[in-house]
Amino acid sequence: MKTKASLLVLLATALCLAQSATEYESPAVNHIAGMLNCNCGCHLRMDCVMPPTGICPVCKAAKIRIANMKKEGKSDQQVLDQFVAENGASVLAVSPGPFGNAAPYLALALGLGVVLLAIRYYRHVRPAPAVPAGDDAALSRYHDQIEKDLSKLD
């Protein structure tokens, strides 16, 4: 009985070790997978590692196909052309240009500059505009009328 259990454990260990992902997780395969978008809906490239298990079934299948195409001797461009023919041009991942990664920081700096200019503009205290003196006769007449009306309230 102990030998059967030992053989079973040995067989399970051998099967677990046989599942290594070195074939489709090689740098050559990941290089090509990095040029392709995953079409599972995650909006990531195929060379990503998705949580919690780190294995996206769509990316895994695509990487296995890429590895098989590389074994057949196809070039990187031929592999990419094959994926574009099957999935359309949207499968190609467009890398950001030289300023693509800097755009959010440039927008933040521009917004901060606008805020600082607005603070500077409203920070300066301006004197109130000079109001010409009113007609004293009309002002006294209204003042007398107000006093008369207030005396009626008492």
d(CA 51, CA 48): 10
Residue 49: DSSP 8-state: -
Instruction: Go through the domains of the chain in sequence order and give each one's CATH number.
Output: 19-91 (1.10.8.640)
Render pLDDT for 5-26 as a digit per residue (tens, 0 to 9). Answer: 777 777 777 666 555 556 677 8
What's this model's pTM, rounded to 2 decimal places? 0.51
What integer pLDDT is reported at residue 124 of this predicted model? Answer: 80
Render pLDDT for 48-82 as a digit per residue (tens, 0 to 9). Answer: 776 666 678 888 888 889 999 999 999 989 999 99
